[in-house]
Structure 1
Amino acid sequence: MLNKVDRSSEQADDTGKEFLVFTLANQEYGIDILKVQEIRGYDSQSVTRIANVPSFIKGVTNLRGVIVPIVDMRIKFNLENVEYNHQTVVVILNLASRVVGVVVDGVSDVLMLQPAQISAAPQFGTAFSTEYLTGIGTVGERMLILVDIEKLMTSTEMALVEQAALI
Protein backbone atom coordinates (compact mmCIF):
# COMPACT_ATOMS: atom_id res chain seq x y z
CA MET A 1 0.00 0.00 0.00
CA LEU A 2 1.65 3.17 -1.19
CA ASN A 3 -0.25 6.42 -1.38
CA LYS A 4 1.20 9.66 -2.61
CA VAL A 5 -0.27 12.69 -0.88
CA ASP A 6 -2.13 14.87 -3.37
CA ARG A 7 -0.81 18.38 -3.01
CA SER A 8 -2.62 19.88 -5.98
CA SER A 9 -4.89 21.92 -3.72
CA GLU A 10 -2.21 22.82 -1.15
CA GLN A 11 -2.75 26.05 0.63
CA ALA A 12 -5.50 27.01 -1.82
CA ASP A 13 -6.74 29.63 0.60
CA ASP A 14 -3.92 31.92 1.76
CA THR A 15 -5.54 32.37 5.17
CA GLY A 16 -6.06 28.68 5.88
CA LYS A 17 -3.65 25.84 6.47
CA GLU A 18 -4.02 22.16 5.56
CA PHE A 19 -3.39 19.45 8.12
CA LEU A 20 -3.09 15.69 7.77
CA VAL A 21 -5.28 14.21 10.51
CA PHE A 22 -4.10 11.00 12.20
CA THR A 23 -5.27 9.08 15.25
CA LEU A 24 -3.44 7.77 18.30
CA ALA A 25 -5.46 6.00 21.02
CA ASN A 26 -8.76 7.54 19.83
CA GLN A 27 -7.38 11.11 19.86
CA GLU A 28 -7.01 13.07 16.64
CA TYR A 29 -3.82 14.95 15.83
CA GLY A 30 -2.97 17.25 12.96
CA ILE A 31 0.34 17.93 11.25
CA ASP A 32 1.21 20.34 8.46
CA ILE A 33 0.41 18.57 5.18
CA LEU A 34 3.46 20.16 3.58
CA LYS A 35 5.71 17.96 5.76
CA VAL A 36 4.08 14.74 4.52
CA GLN A 37 5.86 12.88 1.73
CA GLU A 38 3.68 9.76 1.61
CA ILE A 39 1.60 7.31 3.65
CA ARG A 40 2.43 3.60 3.72
CA GLY A 41 0.96 0.57 5.43
CA TYR A 42 3.00 -0.49 8.46
CA ASP A 43 4.98 -3.68 7.98
CA SER A 44 7.09 -4.55 11.02
CA GLN A 45 8.99 -7.08 8.91
CA SER A 46 10.50 -4.28 6.83
CA VAL A 47 11.83 -2.42 9.90
CA THR A 48 15.33 -3.32 11.07
CA ARG A 49 15.64 -3.03 14.84
CA ILE A 50 18.62 -1.05 16.19
CA ALA A 51 20.25 -1.96 19.51
CA ASN A 52 20.54 0.56 22.35
CA VAL A 53 17.97 3.08 21.12
CA PRO A 54 14.87 4.22 23.04
CA SER A 55 11.78 2.03 22.68
CA PHE A 56 9.93 4.67 20.64
CA ILE A 57 12.44 4.17 17.80
CA LYS A 58 11.17 1.00 16.12
CA GLY A 59 14.25 0.86 13.87
CA VAL A 60 15.06 1.86 10.32
CA THR A 61 13.75 0.91 6.90
CA ASN A 62 15.07 1.32 3.38
CA LEU A 63 12.71 3.47 1.34
CA ARG A 64 13.88 3.52 -2.27
CA GLY A 65 17.54 3.76 -1.22
CA VAL A 66 17.01 6.19 1.67
CA ILE A 67 17.50 4.89 5.22
CA VAL A 68 14.47 6.14 7.17
CA PRO A 69 14.20 5.98 10.99
CA ILE A 70 10.77 4.79 12.17
CA VAL A 71 9.27 6.34 15.33
CA ASP A 72 6.18 4.85 17.04
CA MET A 73 4.19 7.89 18.17
CA ARG A 74 2.12 5.87 20.69
CA ILE A 75 5.27 4.94 22.57
CA LYS A 76 6.72 8.45 22.14
CA PHE A 77 3.59 10.01 23.66
CA ASN A 78 3.36 7.39 26.46
CA LEU A 79 -0.05 6.16 25.30
CA GLU A 80 -1.50 2.75 26.07
CA ASN A 81 -0.21 0.00 23.86
CA VAL A 82 -2.47 -0.53 20.88
CA GLU A 83 -2.23 -3.56 18.63
CA TYR A 84 -0.89 -3.06 15.13
CA ASN A 85 -3.59 -3.82 12.58
CA HIS A 86 -4.54 -3.19 8.95
CA GLN A 87 -5.22 0.50 9.71
CA THR A 88 -1.80 1.13 11.26
CA VAL A 89 0.25 3.27 8.89
CA VAL A 90 3.61 4.97 8.63
CA VAL A 91 3.48 8.62 7.67
CA ILE A 92 6.71 9.44 5.85
CA LEU A 93 7.74 13.00 6.69
CA ASN A 94 10.09 15.13 4.67
CA LEU A 95 11.68 17.43 7.24
CA ALA A 96 14.39 20.03 6.72
CA SER A 97 17.12 17.79 8.10
CA ARG A 98 15.95 14.33 6.91
CA VAL A 99 13.19 11.88 6.06
CA VAL A 100 11.51 10.24 9.09
CA GLY A 101 8.62 7.78 9.36
CA VAL A 102 6.07 7.93 12.19
CA VAL A 103 3.80 5.00 13.08
CA VAL A 104 0.23 6.06 13.88
CA ASP A 105 -3.02 4.17 14.45
CA GLY A 106 -4.55 5.54 11.26
CA VAL A 107 -5.01 8.53 8.99
CA SER A 108 -8.51 9.93 8.68
CA ASP A 109 -8.37 12.91 6.33
CA VAL A 110 -6.88 16.24 5.31
CA LEU A 111 -8.54 19.33 6.73
CA MET A 112 -8.21 23.01 5.91
CA LEU A 113 -8.29 25.07 9.10
CA GLN A 114 -8.81 28.80 9.18
CA PRO A 115 -7.05 30.89 11.88
CA ALA A 116 -10.39 31.28 13.74
CA GLN A 117 -10.57 27.46 14.09
CA ILE A 118 -7.20 27.26 15.88
CA SER A 119 -6.90 28.01 19.60
CA ALA A 120 -3.71 28.38 21.62
CA ALA A 121 -2.21 25.16 22.98
CA PRO A 122 -3.19 24.35 26.57
CA GLN A 123 -0.44 24.35 29.17
CA PHE A 124 -1.61 21.16 30.90
CA GLY A 125 -3.10 17.72 30.32
CA THR A 126 -1.14 16.64 27.26
CA ALA A 127 0.88 13.48 26.84
CA PHE A 128 3.95 15.41 25.78
CA SER A 129 5.59 18.78 26.28
CA THR A 130 3.42 21.62 25.00
CA GLU A 131 6.44 23.15 23.26
CA TYR A 132 5.64 20.80 20.36
CA LEU A 133 2.02 21.94 20.09
CA THR A 134 0.92 24.68 17.73
CA GLY A 135 -2.63 24.73 19.04
CA ILE A 136 -6.00 23.02 19.16
CA GLY A 137 -8.02 22.91 15.96
CA THR A 138 -11.80 22.66 16.03
CA VAL A 139 -14.03 21.48 13.21
CA GLY A 140 -17.61 21.22 14.41
CA GLU A 141 -17.47 18.88 17.42
CA ARG A 142 -14.02 17.53 16.49
CA MET A 143 -10.93 18.71 18.32
CA LEU A 144 -7.48 18.15 16.84
CA ILE A 145 -4.20 18.47 18.71
CA LEU A 146 -1.99 20.34 16.25
CA VAL A 147 1.63 19.21 16.45
CA ASP A 148 4.72 21.01 15.17
CA ILE A 149 6.12 17.74 13.81
CA GLU A 150 9.35 19.30 12.59
CA LYS A 151 10.10 20.73 16.03
CA LEU A 152 9.22 17.41 17.68
CA MET A 153 11.34 15.33 15.30
CA THR A 154 14.35 17.65 15.53
CA SER A 155 14.27 18.08 19.32
CA THR A 156 17.28 17.15 21.43
CA GLU A 157 15.71 13.91 22.67
CA MET A 158 15.02 12.90 19.09
CA ALA A 159 18.70 13.29 18.13
CA LEU A 160 18.84 9.53 18.63
CA VAL A 161 16.62 9.16 15.57
CA GLU A 162 19.37 10.81 13.54
CA GLN A 163 21.96 8.49 15.08
CA ALA A 164 19.81 5.43 14.35
CA ALA A 165 19.66 6.37 10.68
CA LEU A 166 23.45 6.58 10.51
CA ILE A 167 24.05 3.09 11.86
Structure 2
Amino acid sequence: MLTKAYDATAAVLAEVTDWSAPSPCAGWTVRDVANHLVDAMCTFAAAVDGGQGEYRGEDLPGAYREAADRCLAVFEDPAVLAASHPFPPGPTPGSVIARISLSESLVHGWDVARGAGVAYRPAPEVVDAVREFTAGPPPEEGMFAPPVVPSSDDPMTVLLAHLGRKA
Protein backbone atom coordinates (compact mmCIF):
# COMPACT_ATOMS: atom_id res chain seq x y z
CA MET A 1 0.00 0.00 0.00
CA LEU A 2 2.90 2.37 0.63
CA THR A 3 3.88 2.13 -3.03
CA LYS A 4 0.34 2.99 -4.14
CA ALA A 5 0.10 5.93 -1.75
CA TYR A 6 3.53 7.28 -2.64
CA ASP A 7 2.92 6.90 -6.38
CA ALA A 8 -0.41 8.77 -6.23
CA THR A 9 1.18 11.66 -4.35
CA ALA A 10 4.24 11.69 -6.62
CA ALA A 11 1.89 12.02 -9.60
CA VAL A 12 0.26 15.06 -7.97
CA LEU A 13 3.60 16.72 -7.22
CA ALA A 14 4.73 16.18 -10.82
CA GLU A 15 1.70 18.14 -12.06
CA VAL A 16 2.01 21.20 -9.81
CA THR A 17 2.68 24.40 -11.75
CA ASP A 18 1.92 27.02 -9.08
CA TRP A 19 3.85 26.22 -5.92
CA SER A 20 2.82 29.55 -4.35
CA ALA A 21 -0.92 28.75 -4.48
CA PRO A 22 -2.64 28.61 -1.10
CA SER A 23 -3.24 25.13 0.27
CA PRO A 24 -6.15 23.98 2.45
CA CYS A 25 -3.73 24.21 5.40
CA ALA A 26 -4.24 27.70 6.82
CA GLY A 27 -1.32 29.98 6.09
CA TRP A 28 0.55 27.39 4.02
CA THR A 29 1.23 27.41 0.31
CA VAL A 30 1.38 24.30 -1.83
CA ARG A 31 5.18 24.54 -1.56
CA ASP A 32 4.98 24.70 2.25
CA VAL A 33 2.86 21.53 2.39
CA ALA A 34 5.11 19.73 -0.09
CA ASN A 35 8.22 20.71 1.89
CA HIS A 36 6.56 19.52 5.09
CA LEU A 37 5.66 16.21 3.44
CA VAL A 38 9.19 15.64 2.11
CA ASP A 39 10.65 16.50 5.52
CA ALA A 40 8.20 14.11 7.20
CA MET A 41 9.07 11.29 4.80
CA CYS A 42 12.78 11.86 5.49
CA THR A 43 12.05 11.81 9.23
CA PHE A 44 10.18 8.49 8.96
CA ALA A 45 13.08 6.88 7.12
CA ALA A 46 15.67 8.46 9.44
CA ALA A 47 13.91 6.97 12.47
CA VAL A 48 14.84 3.57 11.04
CA ASP A 49 18.04 4.08 9.06
CA GLY A 50 19.61 6.92 11.07
CA GLY A 51 20.17 9.10 7.99
CA GLN A 52 19.21 12.68 7.18
CA GLY A 53 15.82 13.73 8.54
CA GLU A 54 15.19 16.94 6.63
CA TYR A 55 15.26 18.21 3.06
CA ARG A 56 15.28 21.71 1.61
CA GLY A 57 15.52 22.40 -2.07
CA GLU A 58 13.71 23.37 -5.22
CA ASP A 59 13.00 19.98 -6.85
CA LEU A 60 10.12 18.91 -4.65
CA PRO A 61 8.82 16.16 -6.96
CA GLY A 62 12.32 14.66 -7.15
CA ALA A 63 12.91 15.05 -3.41
CA TYR A 64 9.57 13.42 -2.63
CA ARG A 65 10.30 10.48 -4.92
CA GLU A 66 13.72 10.07 -3.30
CA ALA A 67 12.21 10.18 0.21
CA ALA A 68 9.41 7.80 -0.79
CA ASP A 69 11.90 5.33 -2.27
CA ARG A 70 13.94 5.55 0.92
CA CYS A 71 10.84 4.79 3.02
CA LEU A 72 9.95 1.86 0.78
CA ALA A 73 13.45 0.47 1.23
CA VAL A 74 13.44 0.73 5.02
CA PHE A 75 9.88 -0.50 5.54
CA GLU A 76 10.20 -3.56 3.30
CA ASP A 77 12.03 -5.46 6.04
CA PRO A 78 9.58 -7.25 8.41
CA ALA A 79 12.14 -6.97 11.21
CA VAL A 80 12.09 -3.16 10.85
CA LEU A 81 8.30 -3.17 11.10
CA ALA A 82 8.40 -5.29 14.26
CA ALA A 83 11.20 -3.38 16.01
CA SER A 84 10.89 -0.12 17.94
CA HIS A 85 12.69 2.96 16.66
CA PRO A 86 13.45 6.44 18.07
CA PHE A 87 10.50 8.59 17.10
CA PRO A 88 8.57 11.37 18.84
CA PRO A 89 7.13 11.00 21.44
CA GLY A 90 9.20 7.86 22.21
CA PRO A 91 10.23 4.46 20.87
CA THR A 92 7.70 3.48 18.20
CA PRO A 93 7.22 0.24 16.26
CA GLY A 94 8.24 0.47 12.62
CA SER A 95 4.77 -0.67 11.61
CA VAL A 96 3.27 2.41 13.27
CA ILE A 97 5.81 4.73 11.62
CA ALA A 98 4.97 3.14 8.26
CA ARG A 99 1.24 3.71 8.86
CA ILE A 100 1.89 7.34 9.79
CA SER A 101 3.88 7.67 6.56
CA LEU A 102 0.96 6.18 4.63
CA SER A 103 -1.43 8.65 6.26
CA GLU A 104 0.83 11.67 5.74
CA SER A 105 1.35 10.85 2.09
CA LEU A 106 -2.36 10.39 1.46
CA VAL A 107 -3.65 13.42 3.35
CA HIS A 108 -0.91 15.85 2.32
CA GLY A 109 -1.13 14.55 -1.24
CA TRP A 110 -4.75 15.69 -1.13
CA ASP A 111 -3.72 19.05 0.39
CA VAL A 112 -1.25 19.65 -2.44
CA ALA A 113 -3.69 18.52 -5.11
CA ARG A 114 -6.49 20.67 -3.73
CA GLY A 115 -4.30 23.77 -3.47
CA ALA A 116 -2.72 23.27 -6.89
CA GLY A 117 -6.00 22.39 -8.62
CA VAL A 118 -4.63 19.00 -9.66
CA ALA A 119 -6.60 15.74 -9.78
CA TYR A 120 -5.82 13.27 -7.02
CA ARG A 121 -6.50 9.56 -7.45
CA PRO A 122 -5.55 7.66 -4.32
CA ALA A 123 -6.14 3.91 -4.31
CA PRO A 124 -9.36 3.02 -2.44
CA GLU A 125 -7.54 0.45 -0.32
CA VAL A 126 -5.09 3.14 0.84
CA VAL A 127 -7.99 5.39 1.85
CA ASP A 128 -9.60 2.47 3.70
CA ALA A 129 -6.35 1.63 5.52
CA VAL A 130 -5.82 5.22 6.63
CA ARG A 131 -9.46 5.50 7.72
CA GLU A 132 -8.97 2.38 9.85
CA PHE A 133 -5.69 3.72 11.28
CA THR A 134 -7.25 7.09 12.19
CA ALA A 135 -10.61 5.69 13.37
CA GLY A 136 -11.89 6.39 16.82
CA PRO A 137 -11.93 9.65 18.69
CA PRO A 138 -10.42 12.58 16.80
CA PRO A 139 -6.69 13.16 17.42
CA GLU A 140 -5.63 15.44 20.25
CA GLU A 141 -6.38 19.09 19.67
CA GLY A 142 -3.51 20.81 17.93
CA MET A 143 -2.51 17.84 15.77
CA PHE A 144 -5.32 18.43 13.27
CA ALA A 145 -8.22 20.79 12.90
CA PRO A 146 -11.42 19.84 14.74
CA PRO A 147 -13.52 17.34 12.79
CA VAL A 148 -16.12 18.70 10.39
CA VAL A 149 -19.30 17.19 9.01
CA PRO A 150 -18.47 15.34 5.78
CA SER A 151 -20.08 16.74 2.64
CA SER A 152 -20.66 13.24 1.26
CA ASP A 153 -20.27 9.59 2.22
CA ASP A 154 -17.27 9.16 -0.11
CA PRO A 155 -14.57 7.40 1.99
CA MET A 156 -11.90 10.03 1.26
CA THR A 157 -14.30 12.86 2.12
CA VAL A 158 -15.25 11.12 5.38
CA LEU A 159 -11.57 10.64 6.26
CA LEU A 160 -10.73 14.27 5.48
CA ALA A 161 -13.69 15.48 7.56
CA HIS A 162 -12.51 13.36 10.51
CA LEU A 163 -9.14 15.10 10.22
CA GLY A 164 -10.74 18.57 10.03
CA ARG A 165 -10.54 19.14 6.29
CA LYS A 166 -13.41 20.20 4.07
CA ALA A 167 -13.36 18.33 0.79
TM-score band, normalised by the shorter chain? 0.3 to 0.5
Between structures 1 and 2, the one with greater helix share = 2
TM value normalised by structure 2: 0.34
TM-score normalised per structure 1? 0.34
